[in-house]
């Protein structure tokens, strides 16, 4: 149980374009979803937290206008990287949880390469 999927698993795009990444909870209702970024050989860095039906809460230093997060349903959250630049190239991972649950369940990640 508690399976989280992400799509796509990898994406290559040109600088200046936008990229959307989907995160889905497959067998539970995710009241809260988290978006992380991970650079090579580094730890996970929380970018933002989203609760279903509410605006996302962004961590300090994360541009909310650049990383648009939508959590419109209890099984789907999306992260859109707008006007992507090479420095946005990274591994983006989502996780999900539900009310009263301490554990976060992670998706398989999306590798983004901006040329």
Partner 1 sequence: GENVEQHPSTLSVQEGDSAVIKCTYSDSASNYFPWYKQELGKGPQLIIDIRSNVGEKKDQRIAVTLNKTAKHFSLHITETQPEDSAVYFCAARMDSSYKLIFGSGTRLLVRP
Comparison of 4 and 114: residue with beta carbon closer to partner 1: 4
Paired with 92 in beta bridges are 37, 110
Q: Nearest to residue 35, comparing CAs of 100, 115, 112, 113?
A: 112
What 8-state DSSP symbol labels residue 28? S
Residue ranges in 34-93 that form contacts with partner 1 under rule CB under 8 A: 34, 42-44, 46, 49, 93
Binding window for partner 1 (CB under 8 A); candidates: 13-21, 65-73, 74-82, 99-107? 99-107
Letters for 13-32 (x = contact with partner 1 by CB under 8 A, - = none) are: -------------------x
Residues that bind partner 1 (CB under 8 A): 4, 6, 32, 34, 42-44, 46, 49, 93, 95, 97, 102-109, 111
């Amino acid at each position: 149980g508690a399976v989280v999927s992400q799509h796509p698993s990898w994406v290559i795009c040109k600088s200046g374009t936008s990229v959307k990444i989907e995160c889905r909870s497959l067998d539970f209702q995710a009241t809260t979803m988290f978006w992380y970024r991970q650079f090579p050989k580094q730890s996970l860095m929380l970018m933002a937290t989203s609760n279903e039906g509410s605006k996302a809460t962004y961590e300090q230093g994360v541009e909310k206008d650049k990383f648009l997060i939508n959590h419109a349903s209890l099984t789907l959250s999306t992260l859109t990287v707008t006007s992507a630049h090479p420095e946005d190239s990274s591994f983006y991972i989502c996780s999900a949880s539900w009310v009263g649950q301490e554990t976060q369940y992670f998706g398989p990640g999306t590798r983004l390469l901006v040329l």
